[in-house]
Amino acid sequence: MLKKLPRKLAALYQLDRASTSIALNIAEGNGKYTPKDRYFDIARGSALESAGALDIIITKEYYPKEQINLGKNMLRSIVSMLVLLIKRTSKDRAP
């Protein structure tokens, strides 16, 4: 999808950066022996940012809403997973 978007579109770079950040922060958090929730928080924020970039792509009509909704549903699952990871790995957060 990223290859088909216009290079001038700022949301293209944000989506590429944010979606990469999701995977990298999950990997880094899992590789730490110290508290992991910080990395999972960043990954969650990047997933929400990715969803925002997809909203912009829909608004600017670069892709049909139906195609973008597939990605948004995937991001919804990722955010849910990350919220559970944050709750399970953090002792200082309220339940």
Rounded to whole angstroms, the Cα distance separating 56 from 5 reads: 12
pLDDT category, 86, cuts 50, 70, 90?
Answer: confident
Block residue for tokens 């928080």? 41
Walk me through the domains of the chain, giving residue ranges and CATH numbers: 10-89 (1.20.1440.60)
**Are 40 and 26 in contact, with CB atoms under 8 Å apart?**
yes
Least Cα distance to 14 among 41, 42, 51, 61 occurs for 51
- pTM to 2 decimal places: 0.85
The tens digit of pLDDT for each residue in 45-72 reads 999 999 999 999 999 888 888 889 999 9
